Amino acid sequence: MKNIKMYTSSYCPYCANAEKLLSEKGFEIIEKIPVDEDLRALEKMIKITGKRTVPQIFIGKVYIGGFEELRKFNLSGELDKILA
């Protein structure tokens, strides 16, 4: 199973949608990193991704991006290839 890591925050509907989409595919997020509870985690996320918004999703070593990117990967069929 692929390691799925997601930078998240407590009240983020996009994070919930990303988690739901992955769950419907039969996968769970292995590592959730709450950036609203840890300033260092937020700084690390920004350094790695260049983005300040959540979710920021990694599947294995592949950086997906946020929920919109995850959704696009899903609609194009690329998400299944990445998850395989």
Domain chopping of the chain, boundaries: 4-83
pLDDT of residue 32: 95
Report the C-alpha gap between 55 and 7 in whole angstroms: 5
Start-to-end CA span in the chain (Å): 8
What is the residue type of 70?
Answer: L
Average pLDDT, the chain: 95
Report the C-alpha gap between 6 and 57 in whole angstroms: 4
pLDDT of residue 45: 98
What's the whole-model pTM score? 0.93
CA-based R_g, the chain, Å: 12
Tell me the CATH number of domain 4-83, given options 3.30.9.10, 3.40.30.10, 3.40.47.10, 3.40.50.970: 3.40.30.10
Please report, in tens digits, the pLDDT of each residue of the chain (84 residues total).
689 999 999 999 999 999 999 999 999 888 999 999 999 999 999 999 999 999 999 999 999 999 999 999 999 999 999 998
Report the C-alpha gap between 53 and 75 in whole angstroms: 22
**Beta pairing partners, 56:** 7
